[in-house]
Amino acid sequence: MTDYTNERDLVEACLKQDRRAQEAFYRRFGPPALSVCRRYSPGRDEAMELLNEGMMKVFEKLDQFRWEGSLEGWVKRLVFHSTIDHFRRNRRKPTLEIANWDQPTEDTVTHRLYAEDLCKLIELLPATSQEVFWLFAVEGYSHAEIGEKLNFTEGNSRWHLNKARQMLREQLNKEPHKFNRYAG
Protein backbone atom coordinates (compact mmCIF):
# COMPACT_ATOMS: atom_id res chain seq x y z
CA MET A 1 0.00 0.00 0.00
CA THR A 2 1.38 3.42 -0.98
CA ASP A 3 1.94 6.04 1.75
CA TYR A 4 1.24 9.21 -0.32
CA THR A 5 3.19 11.53 1.98
CA ASN A 6 4.16 13.66 -1.02
CA GLU A 7 1.22 15.81 -2.17
CA ARG A 8 2.30 15.75 -5.81
CA ASP A 9 2.37 11.94 -5.84
CA LEU A 10 -1.02 11.88 -4.17
CA VAL A 11 -2.55 14.26 -6.73
CA GLU A 12 -1.01 12.37 -9.65
CA ALA A 13 -2.43 9.09 -8.34
CA CYS A 14 -5.86 10.71 -7.87
CA LEU A 15 -5.75 11.98 -11.44
CA LYS A 16 -5.15 8.37 -12.56
CA GLN A 17 -8.38 7.42 -10.75
CA ASP A 18 -6.54 5.43 -8.05
CA ARG A 19 -9.32 4.85 -5.48
CA ARG A 20 -6.87 4.37 -2.59
CA ALA A 21 -5.20 7.67 -3.41
CA GLN A 22 -8.60 9.37 -3.61
CA GLU A 23 -9.49 7.97 -0.19
CA ALA A 24 -6.14 9.16 1.22
CA PHE A 25 -6.76 12.60 -0.34
CA TYR A 26 -10.24 12.76 1.21
CA ARG A 27 -8.93 11.70 4.63
CA ARG A 28 -6.14 14.29 4.49
CA PHE A 29 -8.13 17.29 3.20
CA GLY A 30 -11.65 16.38 4.33
CA PRO A 31 -11.33 17.55 7.97
CA PRO A 32 -10.08 21.08 7.15
CA ALA A 33 -12.69 21.37 4.39
CA LEU A 34 -15.39 20.14 6.81
CA SER A 35 -14.57 23.07 9.10
CA VAL A 36 -15.51 25.39 6.22
CA CYS A 37 -18.84 23.58 5.72
CA ARG A 38 -19.63 23.60 9.46
CA ARG A 39 -19.48 27.40 9.50
CA TYR A 40 -22.35 27.59 7.02
CA SER A 41 -24.62 24.71 7.97
CA PRO A 42 -26.86 24.24 11.00
CA GLY A 43 -25.95 20.60 11.59
CA ARG A 44 -23.30 17.97 11.04
CA ASP A 45 -25.38 15.96 8.54
CA GLU A 46 -25.82 18.95 6.23
CA ALA A 47 -22.15 19.85 6.67
CA MET A 48 -21.16 16.34 5.58
CA GLU A 49 -23.45 16.62 2.56
CA LEU A 50 -21.83 19.95 1.66
CA LEU A 51 -18.36 18.45 2.17
CA ASN A 52 -19.08 15.51 -0.11
CA GLU A 53 -20.53 17.80 -2.78
CA GLY A 54 -17.48 20.07 -2.48
CA MET A 55 -14.97 17.24 -2.59
CA MET A 56 -16.61 15.93 -5.77
CA LYS A 57 -15.90 19.35 -7.32
CA VAL A 58 -12.32 19.13 -6.04
CA PHE A 59 -11.81 15.76 -7.73
CA GLU A 60 -13.41 17.07 -10.95
CA LYS A 61 -11.07 20.09 -11.01
CA LEU A 62 -7.95 18.52 -9.53
CA ASP A 63 -6.22 18.66 -12.91
CA GLN A 64 -6.55 22.48 -12.78
CA PHE A 65 -4.45 22.88 -9.61
CA ARG A 66 -1.25 24.70 -10.62
CA TRP A 67 0.90 24.27 -7.48
CA GLU A 68 1.11 28.03 -7.01
CA GLY A 69 -0.20 27.97 -3.45
CA SER A 70 -1.14 25.48 -0.80
CA LEU A 71 -3.17 22.48 -1.90
CA GLU A 72 -5.18 22.59 1.33
CA GLY A 73 -6.09 26.24 0.74
CA TRP A 74 -7.15 25.46 -2.81
CA VAL A 75 -9.32 22.56 -1.61
CA LYS A 76 -10.93 24.71 1.10
CA ARG A 77 -11.63 27.48 -1.41
CA LEU A 78 -13.31 25.08 -3.86
CA VAL A 79 -15.40 23.58 -1.05
CA PHE A 80 -16.36 27.09 0.09
CA HIS A 81 -17.48 28.04 -3.45
CA SER A 82 -19.39 24.77 -3.76
CA THR A 83 -21.12 25.47 -0.43
CA ILE A 84 -22.13 28.98 -1.46
CA ASP A 85 -23.35 27.65 -4.82
CA HIS A 86 -25.44 25.07 -2.96
CA PHE A 87 -27.17 27.79 -0.94
CA ARG A 88 -27.70 29.94 -4.02
CA ARG A 89 -29.27 27.02 -5.90
CA ASN A 90 -31.59 26.32 -3.00
CA ARG A 91 -32.29 30.03 -2.41
CA ARG A 92 -31.29 29.71 1.21
CA LYS A 93 -28.92 31.81 3.25
CA PRO A 94 -26.13 29.94 5.02
CA THR A 95 -26.02 30.04 8.79
CA LEU A 96 -22.90 30.74 10.79
CA GLU A 97 -21.97 28.31 13.51
CA ILE A 98 -20.19 30.03 16.38
CA ALA A 99 -18.45 27.83 18.92
CA ASN A 100 -18.45 28.93 22.57
CA TRP A 101 -20.65 31.91 21.74
CA ASP A 102 -21.95 32.29 25.29
CA GLN A 103 -18.62 32.99 26.98
CA PRO A 104 -18.22 36.16 29.07
CA THR A 105 -16.33 38.95 27.32
CA GLU A 106 -15.31 42.54 27.93
CA ASP A 107 -18.30 44.76 28.73
CA THR A 108 -18.71 47.15 25.78
CA VAL A 109 -21.66 47.71 23.43
CA THR A 110 -20.31 45.41 20.74
CA HIS A 111 -19.18 42.80 23.26
CA ARG A 112 -22.62 42.69 24.85
CA LEU A 113 -23.96 41.46 21.55
CA TYR A 114 -23.74 37.74 21.02
CA ALA A 115 -22.65 36.26 17.71
CA GLU A 116 -26.21 35.30 16.80
CA ASP A 117 -27.37 38.87 17.33
CA LEU A 118 -24.46 40.25 15.34
CA CYS A 119 -25.44 37.96 12.45
CA LYS A 120 -28.96 39.43 12.63
CA LEU A 121 -27.48 42.91 12.28
CA ILE A 122 -25.39 41.81 9.31
CA GLU A 123 -28.52 40.41 7.65
CA LEU A 124 -30.03 43.93 7.71
CA LEU A 125 -27.35 45.19 5.33
CA PRO A 126 -28.09 45.56 1.61
CA ALA A 127 -27.27 42.31 -0.20
CA THR A 128 -24.05 43.42 -1.94
CA SER A 129 -22.66 45.23 1.11
CA GLN A 130 -23.55 42.19 3.22
CA GLU A 131 -21.72 39.84 0.85
CA VAL A 132 -18.64 42.09 0.67
CA PHE A 133 -18.59 42.45 4.47
CA TRP A 134 -18.93 38.68 4.89
CA LEU A 135 -16.21 37.85 2.36
CA PHE A 136 -13.80 40.42 3.82
CA ALA A 137 -14.46 40.21 7.57
CA VAL A 138 -15.34 36.53 7.95
CA GLU A 139 -13.70 34.72 5.05
CA GLY A 140 -10.60 36.91 4.81
CA TYR A 141 -10.74 37.71 1.10
CA SER A 142 -8.84 40.77 -0.14
CA HIS A 143 -10.65 43.59 -1.92
CA ALA A 144 -9.06 42.52 -5.20
CA GLU A 145 -10.37 38.96 -4.77
CA ILE A 146 -13.82 40.22 -3.80
CA GLY A 147 -13.94 42.53 -6.80
CA GLU A 148 -12.96 39.68 -9.10
CA LYS A 149 -15.49 37.31 -7.53
CA LEU A 150 -18.37 39.81 -7.68
CA ASN A 151 -17.38 41.40 -11.00
CA PHE A 152 -16.64 44.93 -9.86
CA THR A 153 -13.63 47.07 -8.98
CA GLU A 154 -11.49 46.86 -5.89
CA GLY A 155 -12.64 50.41 -5.04
CA ASN A 156 -16.26 49.31 -5.25
CA SER A 157 -15.48 46.50 -2.79
CA ARG A 158 -13.90 49.01 -0.39
CA TRP A 159 -16.95 51.29 -0.71
CA HIS A 160 -19.36 48.45 0.12
CA LEU A 161 -17.24 47.39 3.10
CA ASN A 162 -17.14 50.95 4.46
CA LYS A 163 -20.88 51.31 3.87
CA ALA A 164 -21.52 48.04 5.74
CA ARG A 165 -19.31 49.11 8.65
CA GLN A 166 -21.00 52.50 8.81
CA MET A 167 -24.47 50.95 8.82
CA LEU A 168 -23.49 48.42 11.51
CA ARG A 169 -21.95 51.18 13.63
CA GLU A 170 -25.14 53.27 13.32
CA GLN A 171 -27.30 50.32 14.37
CA LEU A 172 -25.07 49.57 17.35
CA ASN A 173 -25.07 53.18 18.50
CA LYS A 174 -28.77 53.68 17.84
CA GLU A 175 -30.23 50.75 19.77
CA PRO A 176 -27.46 48.72 21.39
CA HIS A 177 -29.82 46.44 23.33
CA LYS A 178 -32.53 45.93 20.71
CA PHE A 179 -30.91 42.81 19.26
CA ASN A 180 -29.47 41.42 22.47
CA ARG A 181 -32.08 39.27 24.18
CA TYR A 182 -29.77 38.83 27.19
CA ALA A 183 -29.12 42.53 27.88
CA GLY A 184 -30.38 43.90 31.15
Domain boundaries along the sequence of the chain: 7-89, 109-174
Per-residue pLDDT, 174 = 75
Distances (CA, A) of 31 to 5, 11, 54, 88: 17, 17, 12, 24
Which pLDDT score is estimated for 113? 47
Predicted TM-score (pTM) of this structure:
0.51
Assess contact for 62 and 75: CB atoms under 8 A: no
Positions of the chain with pLDDT lower than 50, given as ranges: 97-113, 181-184
Q: Residue 184: its pLDDT value, please? A: 40
Express each pLDDT in 60-88 by its tens digit.
999 999 988 889 989 999 998 888 888 77
The predicted pLDDT at position 106 comes to 47
Label residues 150-169 b or e (16+ Cβ within 10 Å = b). Answer: beeeeebbebbbebbeebbe
Query: Domain 7-89 belongs to what topology?
Result: Rna Polymerase Sigma Factor; Chain: A (1.10.1740)
CA pair distance 36, 139, nearest whole angstrom: 10
Structure confidence at residue 1 (pLDDT): 53
Question: What CATH number does the domain located at 109-174 have?
Answer: 1.10.10.10
